[in-house]
Amino acid sequence: MTGAALLRFARLVPALALLAGFPLVHPPAYAREATATAVIDWDYRPRPRMAVDGILWRCAEEDCTASIVDTPAAAQRACSRLARRYGRVVRFETPAGALSEEALARCNRSRR
25 belongs to a structural domain:
no
pLDDT at 6 over 60: no
26 belongs to a structural domain:
no
- For the chain, how many structural domains are there in total? 1
pLDDT in tens, 46-93: 788 988 888 999 998 889 999 998 888 899 999 999 999 888 999 999
58 belongs to a structural domain:
yes
pTM across the whole model: 0.68
pLDDT in tens, 78-88: 999 999 988 89
pLDDT value of position 43 = 80
| CB neighbourhood size of 56 (10 A) | 11
16 belongs to a structural domain:
no
Alpha helices, H only, the chain: 3-19, 72-86, 101-108
10 belongs to a structural domain:
no
H/E stretch holding 33 reads strand 33-42
pLDDT at 108 over 90: yes
pLDDT value of position 80 = 94
For residue 31, give the DSSP letter.
-
17 belongs to a structural domain:
no
12-50 burial by CB neighbour count: b if 16+ within 10 A, else e?
eeeeeeeeeeeeeeeeeeeeeebebebebeeeeebeeeb
Question: Percent of the chain, pLDDT > 70?
Answer: 71
Domain that holds residue 78: 33-108
Question: Percent of the chain, pLDDT > 90?
Answer: 38
Chain length of the chain: 112
